[in-house]
Amino acid sequence: MGDRSQPVSTESLSPALLGRLPSEVRKPAYDRAALKPGIAHIGVGAFHRCHQAEYTDDLLAKDFGRWGLVGINIRPPLLADTLGRQDGLYTRLIRQDDEVEARVIGSIVRVVDSQDNAAPALDVLASPEIEMVTMTVTEKGYCHIPSSGALDLDHPDVAHDLANPETPRSVPGILAQALELRMATHGRPVTLLSCDNIPTNGTILGNVVRAFAERRGGKLADWIEANVAFPSAMVDRIAPATTAADIGTVEQRYG
Protein backbone atom coordinates (compact mmCIF):
# COMPACT_ATOMS: atom_id res chain seq x y z
CA MET A 1 0.00 0.00 0.00
CA GLY A 2 1.88 3.08 -1.19
CA ASP A 3 1.85 6.53 0.40
CA ARG A 4 -0.12 9.26 -1.25
CA SER A 5 2.17 11.70 -2.98
CA GLN A 6 0.13 14.80 -2.14
CA PRO A 7 -0.86 16.12 1.28
CA VAL A 8 -4.46 15.54 2.25
CA SER A 9 -6.80 17.68 4.32
CA THR A 10 -7.48 16.28 7.77
CA GLU A 11 -10.39 16.31 10.19
CA SER A 12 -11.05 14.44 13.39
CA LEU A 13 -12.42 10.94 13.15
CA SER A 14 -16.18 10.93 13.71
CA PRO A 15 -19.28 8.93 12.74
CA ALA A 16 -19.91 11.40 9.93
CA LEU A 17 -16.42 10.80 8.52
CA LEU A 18 -16.70 7.01 8.40
CA GLY A 19 -18.54 6.93 5.10
CA ARG A 20 -15.89 9.10 3.46
CA LEU A 21 -12.88 7.03 4.47
CA PRO A 22 -11.09 5.01 1.77
CA SER A 23 -12.51 1.56 1.13
CA GLU A 24 -9.33 -0.15 2.37
CA VAL A 25 -10.01 1.15 5.89
CA ARG A 26 -12.10 -1.41 7.76
CA LYS A 27 -15.04 0.13 9.61
CA PRO A 28 -17.50 -1.05 12.28
CA ALA A 29 -19.93 -3.56 10.75
CA TYR A 30 -22.82 -2.89 13.13
CA ASP A 31 -25.11 -0.09 14.26
CA ARG A 32 -23.12 1.83 16.86
CA ALA A 33 -26.18 3.91 17.74
CA ALA A 34 -27.80 0.77 19.14
CA LEU A 35 -24.95 0.07 21.58
CA LYS A 36 -25.43 0.48 25.31
CA PRO A 37 -22.82 0.12 28.05
CA GLY A 38 -22.33 -3.46 29.20
CA ILE A 39 -18.60 -3.81 29.88
CA ALA A 40 -16.38 -1.39 31.78
CA HIS A 41 -12.63 -1.52 31.26
CA ILE A 42 -10.11 -0.01 33.67
CA GLY A 43 -6.89 1.07 31.96
CA VAL A 44 -7.65 2.23 28.42
CA GLY A 45 -4.09 1.88 27.18
CA ALA A 46 -2.64 0.73 23.89
CA PHE A 47 -3.08 -2.96 24.72
CA HIS A 48 -6.78 -2.61 25.43
CA ARG A 49 -7.42 -0.52 22.34
CA CYS A 50 -5.48 -2.92 20.08
CA HIS A 51 -6.72 -6.21 21.52
CA GLN A 52 -9.75 -6.28 23.82
CA ALA A 53 -11.63 -3.43 22.18
CA GLU A 54 -10.93 -4.91 18.74
CA TYR A 55 -12.08 -8.36 19.88
CA THR A 56 -15.28 -6.78 21.21
CA ASP A 57 -15.64 -4.99 17.87
CA ASP A 58 -15.51 -8.42 16.16
CA LEU A 59 -18.17 -9.79 18.51
CA LEU A 60 -20.48 -6.83 17.98
CA ALA A 61 -20.39 -7.54 14.25
CA LYS A 62 -21.67 -11.04 15.09
CA ASP A 63 -24.75 -9.87 17.01
CA PHE A 64 -23.05 -9.75 20.41
CA GLY A 65 -25.95 -7.65 21.65
CA ARG A 66 -25.82 -4.30 23.38
CA TRP A 67 -22.50 -4.64 25.18
CA GLY A 68 -20.54 -1.55 24.30
CA LEU A 69 -17.39 -0.69 26.26
CA VAL A 70 -17.01 2.13 28.75
CA GLY A 71 -13.35 2.96 29.31
CA ILE A 72 -12.08 4.12 32.69
CA ASN A 73 -8.75 5.90 32.49
CA ILE A 74 -6.94 6.09 35.84
CA ARG A 75 -3.47 7.12 34.66
CA PRO A 76 -2.14 9.82 32.29
CA PRO A 77 -2.59 10.77 29.54
CA LEU A 78 -6.12 12.12 29.54
CA LEU A 79 -8.18 10.18 27.03
CA ALA A 80 -11.78 11.19 27.69
CA ASP A 81 -11.46 14.45 25.77
CA THR A 82 -9.55 12.89 22.87
CA LEU A 83 -11.86 9.93 22.36
CA GLY A 84 -14.89 12.00 23.30
CA ARG A 85 -14.29 14.31 20.36
CA GLN A 86 -14.29 11.22 18.15
CA ASP A 87 -17.38 9.60 19.71
CA GLY A 88 -15.14 6.81 21.01
CA LEU A 89 -13.80 5.97 17.55
CA TYR A 90 -10.09 5.49 16.87
CA THR A 91 -7.87 3.87 14.26
CA ARG A 92 -5.92 0.69 14.93
CA LEU A 93 -2.84 0.24 12.72
CA ILE A 94 -0.90 -2.94 11.98
CA ARG A 95 2.47 -2.29 10.34
CA GLN A 96 4.74 -4.72 8.54
CA ASP A 97 7.56 -3.25 6.50
CA ASP A 98 5.84 -0.81 4.11
CA GLU A 99 2.41 -2.35 4.53
CA VAL A 100 -0.14 -0.74 6.81
CA GLU A 101 -3.55 -2.12 7.74
CA ALA A 102 -6.00 0.39 9.20
CA ARG A 103 -9.18 -0.41 11.07
CA VAL A 104 -11.58 1.92 12.84
CA ILE A 105 -12.71 0.42 16.14
CA GLY A 106 -16.20 1.34 17.30
CA SER A 107 -16.77 -0.75 20.42
CA ILE A 108 -15.95 2.01 22.92
CA VAL A 109 -19.03 4.12 23.61
CA ARG A 110 -17.59 6.36 26.33
CA VAL A 111 -14.39 7.08 28.26
CA VAL A 112 -14.09 8.74 31.67
CA ASP A 113 -10.92 10.11 33.23
CA SER A 114 -10.50 9.29 36.93
CA GLN A 115 -6.88 10.10 37.69
CA ASP A 116 -7.58 12.62 40.44
CA ASN A 117 -11.16 11.80 41.36
CA ALA A 118 -12.65 8.33 41.71
CA ALA A 119 -16.24 9.55 41.33
CA PRO A 120 -16.46 9.13 37.52
CA ALA A 121 -15.09 5.58 37.78
CA LEU A 122 -17.44 4.71 40.63
CA ASP A 123 -20.46 6.02 38.72
CA VAL A 124 -19.63 3.68 35.83
CA LEU A 125 -18.71 0.63 37.90
CA ALA A 126 -21.78 0.88 40.13
CA SER A 127 -24.19 1.18 37.20
CA PRO A 128 -26.64 -1.72 36.86
CA GLU A 129 -25.95 -1.70 33.11
CA ILE A 130 -22.38 -2.88 33.68
CA GLU A 131 -22.23 -6.67 33.93
CA MET A 132 -18.50 -7.20 33.43
CA VAL A 133 -15.46 -5.18 34.48
CA THR A 134 -12.18 -5.98 32.74
CA MET A 135 -8.87 -4.40 33.56
CA THR A 136 -5.29 -3.94 32.40
CA VAL A 137 -3.63 -1.95 35.17
CA THR A 138 -0.16 -3.60 35.30
CA GLU A 139 1.04 -5.84 38.12
CA LYS A 140 1.63 -2.88 40.44
CA GLY A 141 -2.00 -1.84 40.10
CA TYR A 142 -3.22 -4.72 42.27
CA CYS A 143 -1.35 -3.50 45.38
CA HIS A 144 -0.54 -7.07 46.36
CA ILE A 145 2.43 -8.86 47.87
CA PRO A 146 3.87 -10.90 44.96
CA SER A 147 5.13 -13.75 47.14
CA SER A 148 1.71 -14.44 48.67
CA GLY A 149 -0.88 -12.69 46.51
CA ALA A 150 -2.29 -10.96 49.59
CA LEU A 151 -3.26 -7.30 49.84
CA ASP A 152 -0.27 -5.11 50.75
CA LEU A 153 -1.57 -3.27 53.80
CA ASP A 154 1.60 -1.13 53.88
CA HIS A 155 0.94 0.31 50.43
CA PRO A 156 0.22 4.05 50.88
CA ASP A 157 -2.81 4.01 48.59
CA VAL A 158 -4.24 0.98 50.39
CA ALA A 159 -3.78 2.71 53.75
CA HIS A 160 -5.50 5.80 52.37
CA ASP A 161 -8.41 3.82 50.95
CA LEU A 162 -9.04 1.86 54.13
CA ALA A 163 -9.20 5.15 56.03
CA ASN A 164 -11.19 6.93 53.31
CA PRO A 165 -13.25 4.26 51.51
CA GLU A 166 -15.52 6.72 49.70
CA THR A 167 -12.60 8.50 47.99
CA PRO A 168 -10.36 5.61 46.90
CA ARG A 169 -7.10 5.92 44.98
CA SER A 170 -6.10 2.30 44.38
CA VAL A 171 -7.67 -0.20 41.99
CA PRO A 172 -8.68 -2.58 44.83
CA GLY A 173 -10.11 0.36 46.77
CA ILE A 174 -12.08 1.62 43.77
CA LEU A 175 -13.48 -1.85 43.10
CA ALA A 176 -14.43 -2.43 46.75
CA GLN A 177 -16.26 0.90 46.91
CA ALA A 178 -18.00 0.23 43.60
CA LEU A 179 -19.18 -3.16 44.87
CA GLU A 180 -20.42 -1.52 48.07
CA LEU A 181 -22.48 0.87 45.93
CA ARG A 182 -23.80 -1.97 43.76
CA MET A 183 -24.85 -3.92 46.85
CA ALA A 184 -26.59 -0.89 48.34
CA THR A 185 -28.40 0.30 45.22
CA HIS A 186 -29.41 -2.65 43.05
CA GLY A 187 -27.52 -5.79 44.05
CA ARG A 188 -26.83 -7.03 40.53
CA PRO A 189 -23.97 -9.55 40.19
CA VAL A 190 -20.84 -8.69 38.23
CA THR A 191 -17.71 -10.36 36.85
CA LEU A 192 -14.32 -8.76 37.56
CA LEU A 193 -11.85 -9.98 34.96
CA SER A 194 -8.14 -9.22 35.22
CA CYS A 195 -6.31 -9.39 31.89
CA ASP A 196 -2.84 -8.45 33.12
CA ASN A 197 0.16 -10.70 32.56
CA ILE A 198 0.14 -12.20 36.06
CA PRO A 199 -0.28 -15.93 36.77
CA THR A 200 -3.57 -16.68 38.59
CA ASN A 201 -4.54 -13.05 38.21
CA GLY A 202 -8.17 -13.75 39.06
CA THR A 203 -7.14 -15.28 42.37
CA ILE A 204 -4.97 -12.27 43.18
CA LEU A 205 -7.73 -9.84 42.24
CA GLY A 206 -10.19 -11.75 44.39
CA ASN A 207 -7.73 -11.76 47.30
CA VAL A 208 -7.20 -8.00 47.35
CA VAL A 209 -10.85 -7.06 46.82
CA ARG A 210 -12.09 -9.50 49.48
CA ALA A 211 -9.42 -8.26 51.91
CA PHE A 212 -10.71 -4.71 51.46
CA ALA A 213 -14.27 -5.86 52.03
CA GLU A 214 -13.40 -7.83 55.16
CA ARG A 215 -11.57 -4.89 56.71
CA ARG A 216 -14.51 -2.60 55.96
CA GLY A 217 -16.85 -4.91 57.84
CA GLY A 218 -20.59 -5.09 57.33
CA LYS A 219 -22.20 -7.36 54.74
CA LEU A 220 -19.95 -6.56 51.77
CA ALA A 221 -17.63 -9.58 52.04
CA ASP A 222 -20.56 -12.01 52.09
CA TRP A 223 -22.26 -10.21 49.21
CA ILE A 224 -19.07 -10.40 47.13
CA GLU A 225 -18.79 -14.12 47.82
CA ALA A 226 -22.30 -14.67 46.47
CA ASN A 227 -22.41 -12.15 43.62
CA VAL A 228 -18.93 -11.47 42.20
CA ALA A 229 -16.81 -13.76 40.00
CA PHE A 230 -13.02 -13.43 39.61
CA PRO A 231 -11.97 -15.59 36.64
CA SER A 232 -8.33 -15.74 35.55
CA ALA A 233 -7.47 -14.67 31.99
CA MET A 234 -3.78 -13.87 31.61
CA VAL A 235 -2.80 -12.22 28.33
CA ASP A 236 0.86 -12.14 27.26
CA ARG A 237 0.85 -9.45 24.58
CA ILE A 238 1.95 -5.84 24.24
CA ALA A 239 1.02 -2.99 21.92
CA PRO A 240 3.31 -0.03 21.24
CA ALA A 241 2.13 3.39 22.34
CA THR A 242 0.86 5.71 19.61
CA THR A 243 3.61 7.91 18.18
CA ALA A 244 3.61 11.09 16.13
CA ALA A 245 4.73 8.96 13.18
CA ASP A 246 1.63 6.78 13.55
CA ILE A 247 -0.62 9.83 13.51
CA GLY A 248 1.23 11.16 10.48
CA THR A 249 0.77 7.85 8.66
CA VAL A 250 -2.99 7.94 9.20
CA GLU A 251 -3.25 11.55 8.07
CA GLN A 252 -1.10 11.01 5.00
CA ARG A 253 -2.72 7.80 3.81
CA TYR A 254 -6.33 8.23 4.80
CA GLY A 255 -7.00 11.90 5.46
pLDDT digits (tens, 9 = 90+) for 64-111: 788 999 999 988 777 888 899 999 999 999 988 888 999 999 999 999
Close Cβ partners of 96 (under 8 Å, ≥ 6 residues apart): none
Q: In this structure, what CATH number is given to the domain that contains residue 197?
A: 3.40.50.720
d(CA 209, CA 99): 45
Residues 178, 143 share a domain: yes
Q: Find the largest Cα–Cα distance for the chain.
A: 67
Same domain, 90 and 133: no
- pLDDT for the residue 245: 87
Predicted confidence (pLDDT) at residue 206 exceeds the cutoff of 90: yes
* Final residue of a structural domain among 116, 139, 162: 116
Which among 87, 80, 115 has a CA at the least distance from the CA of 16?
87
Concatenating the DSSP letter of every residue in 96-118 gives: ETTEEEEEEE--EEEEEE-SS-S
| Inside any domain, residue 210 | yes
What pLDDT digit, counting tens, does each position of 107-134 carry? 999 999 999 999 999 999 999 999 999 9
DSSP labels, 66-95: SEEEEEEE-SSSP-HHHHHHTTT-EEEEEE
Answer yes or no: pTM beyond 0.85. Answer: yes
Segment (H or E) for 47: helix 46-47
Asked, for residue 19, whether it belongs to a domain, the answer is no
Query: Are 77 and 141 within one domain?
Result: no
Q: How many CB atoms lie within 10 A of CB 26?
A: 15
Q: Which domain holds residue 56?
A: 42-116
**Among the three residues 116, 139, 154, which one is the final residue of a domain in this structure?**
116
> Residue 29: what pLDDT?
94
Considering its fold, how many domains does the chain have in total?
A: 2
Residues 87 and 141 in one domain: no
The mean pLDDT of 201-211, rounded to a whole number, is 98
Other CB atoms within a 10 A radius of the CB of residue 80 amount to 17
Answer yes or no: do 128 and 231 share one domain. Answer: yes
